[in-house]
Structure 1
């Protein structure tokens, strides 16, 4: 099976590819990669991708599609895995008016567009009490002090669109907010939300033609290179837990059904709902990604191989069971990740314990 992966400079497409290569026996694979940056490491991983291509960005649709279609025809590509948000949007736009050049799991444009706009998504889900109290504001808003009048201190601020915690920080004063806006010149619109001190949770959802067919839940505990981000959030989890929490699935499902009703759309695609718990332990949705996220390989290594599920659906595998399945895990499972390393799945109880204070080395 020949599969085209876009955005292979990012960790998520490579994680998806590794999920198939290492944890699936569905078929034999040939992977092809694309990226817009000649420095992208995935373009040069010949052990993973048979061939790789430097292509124009999706922001240049005419040249982008010419390159993509050329690769698909020349290499007889069976399906494409589209993961960068800008490319998901471009493919969803095309799906609205024309057929896709090959099978790909792409959400409706109206759904993707709404979910990428975190502020819009929050406003739609507010009546369902699924999201934290929030305030959208522009960087040049003259009445920034009113945010604290609504939310109180501390509160959380981030870019109203995009992923990976762009522009995110806990705000404790008006001066902190003004300074943060100043050092984030690329962000024009921000979203401030009530501060949620609890667990950072995720629910993965695979929809096929309106039906939820697979789901699983987990917790993000620590992030790779967290010290480089003032918020401590970089978008790449280094330590997480694999959870069995049906409540998260039900809340995510409710949110997606609300979005589908608002956009008059059929739910189709892969979504990752992110939650934070409030002080009472109630999970609230902070964002819903329109794609897989980087630690999808960790789920695959523990038996929840959403990458294989996606491929089998796109291949119209008649043996694939499309009835709903909530993947569950052995209690106490965690995953550890780092840059350039395969994840490790283990029991949290088996983590190394600190040495006792009276322990010492005796030299021979």
Structure 2
């Protein structure tokens, strides 16, 4: 393929592997649509794939301006997935395991909310309803902590109280399920466990949602719950759907969010492990037959993907470095 990349920051294009690259405005700034259409014409682009959530949302809403160039889920799916509180309610109504959640508002009694959500972990999870990378996320133990955390973000980051939700804290292992669908049919999928986070030790929440260490897993419960969650959002899923899950205090994977229309940031992990979903997504968008792929467990288990800010990612079978520990 001939790849054309865009970014809002010229420095981010310095290390790109794209064949051509362009700096463009943010999708919420004037000139974005004009710039994108100009690049499409110059480079004779056949497919536009948005990766950041704001661009997924903007292009989905304005898809009529890009006829035949997008391979996105239905706009209703995108809207639902980009509101974590709304998707939580949709999944709960379909009996998908999700953390009990409450939307914050100006008249909320935060201590009552925290008390009602508090489990055996002794914590409650506060998070922004929209955004990636554990945006504005914090585990709290009191209503005052939740109130003042939200107040800080409202005063300094331009958010409002209703941009937040409080959820039961999930203390167990965290999983990421990436899948590719075609007109309601699951074509292929794979799950991984996030075992360590990039800069997680520096985050107030202890995690960043971007793993520095991840491993492939074969878990029937993760596969089944993630698939059911997607179908609770969409009666006919199409394109890319990525599901985040975390075990509750009983060990049951609960869905915390679904991102549709774009891949996980570590999709190259699965590609290196033998399941190149971005490649098959492009083939599907171009009308090629994409079949005979494993619906679940597309890669072997116990493959580790280890990466860092200043080193190349590496794929390992098992964890051979454990044997190198000093006595």
Please say whether Structure 1 and Structure 2 have the same fold, judged by a TM-score greater than 0.5.
yes
Larger radius of gyration: 1
Does 1:34 pair with 2:1? Answer: no
Q: 1:106 to 1:280 in 2, by over 3 A?
A: same
SS of equivalent to 2:300: coil
Residue number in structure 2 paired with 1:56: 25
Report what 2:319 is aligned to: 349
Alignment of 1:1-364 (within 5 A): 1=1, 30-39=2-11, 41=12, 43-45=13-15, 48-60=17-29, 63-95=31-63, 98=64, 100-127=66-93, 128-138=95-105, 140-141=106-107, 143-152=109-118, 153-185=122-154, 186=157, 187-188=159-160, 189-261=163-235, 266-290=236-260, 291-318=262-289, 320-321=290-291, 325-352=295-322, 353-356=324-327
Give the superposition deviation at 1:299.
Answer: 0.9
Return closer, same or farther for 1:63/1:101 CA change in 2, 3 Å cut-off. Answer: farther
Indicate how the Cα distance of structure 1 residues 80 and 218 shifts in structure 2: closer, same or farther if over 3 A, else same.
same
Residues 50-93 of structure 1: per-residue CA shift (max 9 Å, x gap): 32212122224x62221111111111112222111111112211
Report SS of the residue matched to 2:311: coil
- Check the 8 A contact 1:304/1:327 in 2, yes or no: no
Change (3 A) 1:268 1:329: closer
Measure, in 2, the Cα distance between the counterparts of 1:327 and 1:79: 28
Q: Aligned partners of 2:299 and 2:10: how far apart in 1? A: 39
Moved over 6 A (4+): none
Structure 2 portions without partners, runs of 5+: none
Return the alpha-carbon distance in structure 1 between the equivalents of residues 42 and 188 of structure 2: 33
Distance of 1:331 and 1:90 partners within structure 2:
36
Change (3 A) 1:36 1:142: same
Is the 2:100–2:167 Cα contact (8 Å) retained in structure 1? Answer: yes
Measure the CA separation in 2 of the matches of 1:72 and 1:106. Answer: 17
* TM-score of the pair, normalised by structure 1: 0.81
Alpha-carbon spacing, 1:228–1:102, altered in 2? closer, same or farther (3 Å): farther
Distance 1:137 1:83 in 2: 29
1:23 maps to which residue? none
Unpaired runs of 5+ residues, structure 1, are 2-29, 357-364
Q: Provide the rounded CA distance (Å) in 1 between the counterparts of 2:310 and 2:3.
A: 19
Instruction: Return the offset for 1:332.
Output: 2.3
Q: Distance in 2 between matches of 1:210 and 1:57?
A: 32
Separation in 2 of the partners of 1:302 and 1:129?
29
Q: Cα RMSD between the aligned structures?
A: 2.0
Offset of residue 329 of structure 1:
3.3
**What is the aligned length?**
316
